[in-house]
Chains A and B, each alone.
Chain A
Amino acid sequence: MIDINPQRTLVRYNVRIEQEMTPEEVAEGLFPADEAIREVARAVFNGDEDEVVESLKNAIDKGKDPLSLINNALMVGMEVVSTLYDDNMLYLPDVIISAQAMIEGIEFCKEQSGEEHEYKGKIISYVVEGDIHDIGKKIVTVLLRAKGYEVIDLGKDVPVEEVISAVKREKPIMVTGTALMTTTMSAFSDVNSRLLDSDINVPVVCGGGAVNQDFVSQYDLGLYCEEAADVPKIADAILKGFDIESLRKEFHKH
């Protein structure tokens, strides 16, 4: 068996660009100064649900308002996680674990307060009819919740009719749909037509294995998304007033 020194045939770019500081070290520099808040943010970063609840109790004991802790502590911790993920210092499971700890914290704060938390916006997510592969939808849903959106998760193998009813009922700022197979993704077309028939101009963000930009661009409401991490950015852009055309300019990469 031959063996070679790969130096002249291969570049491990991930090793080459690696940063000197660890994510934990960078995060310490980003957490807020207020010790009670800092403790909550660090617990979210660590992704430890028990630690999150414990730190929230401490903060409330110190006089912090439970509902304000959602935006001012939990979301701040999650923002640090998102920043480090965007800067290539954390992996997706780190984000998911932190997001779930944060969501647990939000529930705790809501219970303590007895009042409703105001989300940034409402979004519907689903997997198209005939398709039971939902790992992409799970990732998108968690990332959106981590960014402060309320997600109505319709699940997998969702009939078009059910998507339309949910949009009419919930009035979301956008819909996200995933499809793995070429044979199921035609359901996006039906959703597009039915929404337009009802004069609903909500963006339908589409992604998944066989879906591509050319296909999604055929539909008036269609917006292609290659990376799950872009979905919250699209939602933020919608809140800033971007329409379908400007969203396509910003997020269509090919």
Chain B
Amino acid sequence: MDIKRYTKMAYDDFEDMVFGHCPNPLSTGFDLEIGAGYTSAEVNYAPRPSSGKSKETLVAEYEKITTDVLQRMVQVGFPSVVLETEHVLPMTMNPEWGAEISHAQKAIMEEYYDEYGIKCALRTTLADIRGGRETLDLRGDHYDILMESFDQVASSGSDMLSIESLGGKGAFDNAILHNDIPGILFSIGILGTLDVEYLWSEISSIAKKHNVIAAGDTDCSQANTAMFIAGGLLDRKLAHTMAIVARAISAPRSLAAYEAGAVGPGKDCGYENTIIKAIAGVPISQEGKASTCAHSDVMGNLVMQCCDLWSNESVEYHGEFGGTSVQCWGETLSYDCSMLNTAIEAGYTKVFRDVLMASDRYRDPQSFILAFDNAYRIGEAIVKDGDDIYLRSKNAAIKACELVERGSRGQLELSRFEKASLTKAIKALHSMTDEKDAFIDEQMEIFKASMPEFRPENYGY
């Protein structure tokens, strides 16, 4: 396995980080460039449940979706667009289904490109089908089907490959419900990272073989779970100062995909992407105010600050007053991108970025640590011990807590509960060992004893 660790930052200064530009831009699909000076909408959608009856009904559904999006882009005059097809389970479980859908979508995109010259590309995000009812089996038969599915979509028209991988998820769920900081760090920073490395070494090879883009992973299954449970300001499910620990550790975890050969753009729901962009210089997709069709968050404008693609997360395909849902959300996203691109053209990129960031900077501890200056500082903490997957995760968590603590002495208001939770988290982090192997041994024993379904062999142990 060829893993290239990041031990320095892609940018010398956080002030250089902006939307629409990145140090390592890429070209893909039909004339589309990402991170090369403009932003594009990335439209994401889910088929209606009724369309899942057969391969034929699903293919027809995606043909309608693709045509609808491209038709609306052309009708309103937008120059570029990315379509993201997130597989539902049968599409990955039956590799030929996913392949046929990719082929059908790409054929329609080619027609629009030929006729109108619209720059476009297709990202396919496979479902992490590695499951098992009693025990999660990450490296068994389903892994082979998953890779076969990647191979088939890559050979059938997909331009970019992605996944939201599940490594460490079971351990994380237990840890987050018990405010177990070492458990959170173990599940995301160690188990998640090891699984991402394992997956992406092979996905990157498949992408290379078919001359497509190995795009990236996201810690949706863990850090976004924490964000989702934490909820809004009035929810009492999880302290938002605890959710920042999961988010900070998600950055080195998702970074592992790039260390194993991915090149971006990072997936939309990876809120950790600003940290990753600071470290790896790869283009990123993000979602925020235009993804309220899928979920709420507390950083709707801020997370747009350094995006290269701007996404709506996911919307079920159905009718709205303004057209189909994908047409409505595609148009909304594209108007947002038009605004960003106008700021770039007018020379106001940094001013616009700062307004986006400042509007949500103090909304929540989660947005505070992801403001680009603070995200950059977390990145620095990660690369400081970039070769050690444990220490870099621990550094990231400690830095996030320090930033919030310092921020709370200024404009960042915290409730008493958030402060108490932050104090507990800092105490727990500082009481942890600096030795990776000792930490892993200890946590392996804890999870083997407390979770009968936990399988160290999923992670090479």
Contact = CB atoms under 8 A, between A and B. Distances in A.
Interface of A: 1-6, 9-10, 12-15, 17-18, 22, 85, 88-93, 96-97, 130, 132-135, 138-139, 155-158, 181-186, 210
B136 A132 contact: yes
Contacts of A1: 14-15, 354, 357, 373
Interface in B160-217: 173, 176-179
A1 B302 CA distance: 13
Contacts of B14: 1
B233 A18 contact: no
A183 B358 contact: no
A193 B411 CA distance: 55
* B132, B236, B316, B362, most chain A CB atoms within 10 A: B236
Interface in B85-143: 88-90, 131-134, 136
Contacts of B239: 91
29 contacts: A2-B351, A2-B355, A4-B358, A6-B362, A6-B411, A10-B363, A12-B233, A12-B413, A13-B234, A14-B415, A14-B418, A15-B413, A17-B234, A85-B236, A91-B239, A91-B417, A93-B176, A97-B178, A97-B179, A132-B133, A157-B133, A158-B133, A182-B49, A182-B316, A183-B46, A183-B47, A183-B52, A183-B89, A210-B46
A156 B178 contact: no
Interface residues of B, number: 49
B373 A138 contact: no
Interface of B: 14-15, 46-49, 52, 88-90, 131-134, 136, 173, 176-179, 221, 225, 229, 233-234, 236-239, 242, 316, 351, 354-355, 357-359, 361-363, 373, 411, 413-418, 421
A88 B415 contact: no
Nearest to B354: A2
Given A92-B238, A157-B133, 12 more contacts: A3-B358, A6-B361, A12-B413, A14-B415, A14-B418, A92-B236, A96-B177, A139-B177, A182-B88, A183-B46, A183-B88, A183-B90
Interface of A is mostly: loop
Given A88-B234, A92-B177, A5 B411 contact: yes
A186 B47 CA distance: 13
Nearest to B173: A135
A181 B89 contact: yes
A93 B242 CA distance: 11
Nearest to B91: A183
B91 to A, nearest CB: 9
B361 A134 contact: no
Contacts, number: 108
A10 B234 CA distance: 14
A242 B359 CA distance: 47
Contacts of B363: 6, 10, 12
A91 B236 contact: yes
Contact of B414 (A6, A15, A89, A186): A15
B131 A132 contact: yes
Nearest to A84: B236
Q: What 4 pairs across the A-B complex have the smallest Cβ distances? A: A92-B237, A183-B88, A6-B362, A2-B354
Given A14-B234, A132-B131, A92 B361 contact: no
Contacts of B416: 18, 22
Contacts of B233: 12-14
Contact of B177 (A130, A138, A155, A186): A138
Contacts of A186: 49, 52
B93 to A, nearest CB: 9
Given A91-B239, A91-B417, A135 B225 contact: yes
Given A10-B362, A10-B363, A91 B354 contact: no
B318 to A, nearest CB: 11
Contacts of A210: 46
B424 to A, nearest CB: 11
Nearest to A18: B415
A9 B236 contact: no
Contacts of B357: 1
Contacts of B415: 12, 14-15, 18
A210 B318 CA distance: 15
Given A6-B361, A13-B233, A183-B90, A135 B177 contact: yes
Contacts of B361: 3-4, 6
B226 to A, nearest CB: 10
A96 B178 contact: yes
Contacts of A139: 177
A182 B362 contact: no
Contact of B179 (A12, A17, A93): A93
